[in-house]
């Protein structure tokens, strides 16, 4: 028997869906859990129609993208603690970002507000509306859109104009990029190609209906996420350990480039996705489920790719909730893991072999600082500057011998994820 449909609590189904948005918004913030995990654990979310889920997800992502702006705006409007702040955030999302008529959003806000607060909530909405289009110049700016722990760190590392450009890209829905298993592309019309192995669709068709999906000729992967594998150079015939492999974008890239890949990860739910991806693409890979901090290989590898767990601050347009559920303490814990994993990766490679350390982070603390700390701690490896001679990585992504992209690179075509990678060579 199929699972029952979620109940329709109201004559107007959108009221029920907006209630669900508020519930999920609160859950993400209270449990400090990603949007994806929150939706997966919600008792009824999965049972809604795809179009209802789309309605909810559009609002959730937009809410988190603009949360900092709305918090700053409401703080300016009222120095006192604001009741029903979540309702106001959603009403402002509807009106200022999604084009919902003011009367409709205000009426919805009134219907979910306690009677004594209704006129106050209404007045705040009207005040925001009176700002007109200028609200973006005032509030959709880096110092207000990001939580202070993140803004303060980024501000020390990036010029204000880059932060502004990153913020503009971060507020957009990202395009779809696909990476090909072979050379040359098989895909739908209307793509852009920044590099020969990847196509971009500004207005993507349904992924599973696209040419070549069923045959496993490509997989979804942001173009910047395809660069770290290229930093290993030619991997044809080499034994390569992919440490932190799931869900497998880079594993498939390595295998399709002719490497004999061992894919290692400890997260069973993510390993399942990796195995599904390998089944669809038919790429031969040995999968190991283990904790990389304690696992030792039986033989050394020719090369290692370590795609380490990180703050994922380079992927905020895809995961806009992350800065609101992370903080400095989280970064400190990640740093310990990143250094431990990089030591393990270096222990697993043979002399002369390359280790590429990668993170989808914009923060130096998780990139260059980790690499420099590990280099200081050992005498058996050296930094090997990444150039485009044997990697085919475009010039704009290479700085000071490192791979570094940020969301405003290729901004005119929709930007890209922020990635950092360094290449080390084992010398003894």
Ligand X SMILES: C[S@@+](CC[C@H](N)C(=O)[O-])C[C@H]1O[C@@H](n2cnc3c(N)ncnc32)[C@H](O)[C@@H]1O
Distance of closest approach, residue 305 Cβ to ligand X, in angstroms: 8
User: How many of the chain's residues bind ligand X (CB under 6 A)?
Assistant: 17
Distance of closest approach, residue 76 Cβ to ligand X, in angstroms: 37
Of 107-115, 203-211, 245-253, 404-412, the window that binds ligand X (rule: CB under 6 A) is 245-253
Under the binding rule (CB under 6 A), the answer on residue 244 touching ligand X is yes
Distance of closest approach, residue 279 Cβ to ligand X, in angstroms: 15
Distance CA 181, CA 277 (A): 12
**Is residue 332 packed enough to be buried (19+ CB in 10 Å), middle (13-18) or exposed (0-12)?**
exposed
Among positions 251-270, residues that touch ligand X (CB under 6 A) are 264-267, 270
Distance of closest approach, residue 38 Cβ to ligand X, in angstroms: 18
Give the residue among 285, 247, 231 at the shortest CA–CA distance from 263.
285
Instruction: Say whether 404 sits in a helix, a strand or coil.
Output: strand
Core vs surface per residue 174-190: b (16+ CB within 10 A) or e: bbbbbbbbeeebebeee
Distance CA 300, CA 101 (A): 63
Tell me the CA end-to-end span of the chain in Å, nearest whole number. 62
Distance CA 97, CA 62 (A): 8
Of 54-62, 103-111, 238-246, 395-403, the window that binds ligand X (rule: CB under 6 A) is 238-246
Distance of closest approach, residue 227 Cβ to ligand X, in angstroms: 11
Under the binding rule (CB under 6 A), the answer on residue 291 touching ligand X is yes
Q: Are 374 and 339 in contact (CB under 8 A)?
A: yes
Among positions 197-216, residues that touch ligand X (CB under 6 A) are none
For ligand X, which residue of 292, 416, 422, 423 counts as binding (CB under 6 A)? 292
Residue 292: count of CB within 10 angstroms of its CB: 22
Q: Are 226 and 201 in contact (CB under 8 A)?
A: no
Instruction: Say whether 133 sits in a helix, a strand or coil.
Output: helix
Distance of closest approach, residue 232 Cβ to ligand X, in angstroms: 13
Comparing CB distances to ligand X, the nearer of 273 and 382 is: 273
For ligand X, which residue of 142, 170, 185, 248 counts as binding (CB under 6 A)? 248
Distance of closest approach, residue 340 Cβ to ligand X, in angstroms: 8
Under the binding rule (CB under 6 A), the answer on residue 307 touching ligand X is yes
For ligand X, which residue of 121, 246, 421, 422 counts as binding (CB under 6 A)? 246
Given the rule CB under 6 A, which residues bind ligand X?
244-250, 264-267, 270, 291-293, 307, 309
């Amino acid at each position: 028997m199929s699972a029952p449909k979620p109940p329709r609590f109201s004559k107007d189904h959108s009221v029920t869906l907006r209630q669900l948005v508020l519930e999920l918004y609160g859950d993400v913030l209270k449990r400090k859990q990603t949007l994806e995990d929150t939706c997966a654990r919600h008792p009824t979310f999965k049972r809604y129609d795809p179009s209802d889920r789309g309605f909810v997800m559009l609002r959730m992502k937009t809410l988190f993208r603009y949360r900092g702006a709305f918090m700053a705006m409401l703080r300016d409007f009222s120095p006192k603690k604001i009741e029903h702040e979540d309702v106001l955030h959603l009403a402002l999302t509807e009106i200022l970002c999604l084009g919902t008529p003011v009367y409709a959003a205000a009426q919805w806000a009134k219907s979910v507000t306690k009677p004594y607060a209704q006129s106050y909530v209404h007045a705040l909405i009207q005040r925001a509306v009176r700002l007109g289009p200028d609200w973006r110049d005032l509030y959709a700016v880096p110092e207000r859109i990001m939580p202070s722990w993140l803004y303060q760190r980024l501000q020390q590392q990036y010029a204000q104009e880059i932060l502004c450009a990153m913020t503009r890209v971060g507020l957009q829905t990202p395009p779809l990029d696909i990476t090909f298993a072979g050379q040359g592309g098989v895909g739908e019309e209307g793509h852009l190609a920044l590099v020969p192995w990847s196509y971009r669709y500004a207005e993507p068709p349904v992924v599973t209906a696209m040419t070549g999906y069923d045959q496993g000729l490509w997989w979804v992967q942001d173009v910047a996420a395809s660069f770290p594998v290229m930093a290993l150079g030619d991997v044809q015939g080499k034994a390569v350990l992919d440490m932190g492999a799931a869900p497998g974008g880079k594993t498939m890239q390595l295998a399709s480039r002719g490497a004999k890949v061992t894919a290692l990860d400890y997260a069973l739910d993510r390993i399942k996705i990796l195995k599904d991806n390998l089944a669809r693409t038919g790429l031969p890979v040995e999968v190991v489920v283990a904790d990389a901090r304690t696992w030792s290989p039986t033989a050394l590898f020719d090369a290692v790719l370590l795609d380490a767990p990180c703050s994922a601050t380079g992927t905020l347009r895809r995961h806009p909730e992350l800065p609101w559920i992370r903080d400095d303490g989280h970064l400190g814990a990640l740093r310990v893991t990143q250094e431990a994993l990089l030591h393990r990766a270096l222990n697993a490679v043979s002399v002369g072999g390359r280790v590429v350390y990668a993170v989808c982070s914009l923060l130096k603390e998780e990139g260059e600082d980790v690499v420099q700390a590990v280099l200081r701690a050992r005498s058996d490896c050296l930094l090997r500057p990444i150039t485009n001679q044997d990697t085919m990585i475009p010039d704009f992504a290479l700085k000071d011998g490192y791979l570094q992209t940020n969301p405003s690179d290729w901004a005119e075509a929709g930007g890209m994820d922020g990635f950092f990678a360094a290449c080390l060579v084992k010398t003894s």
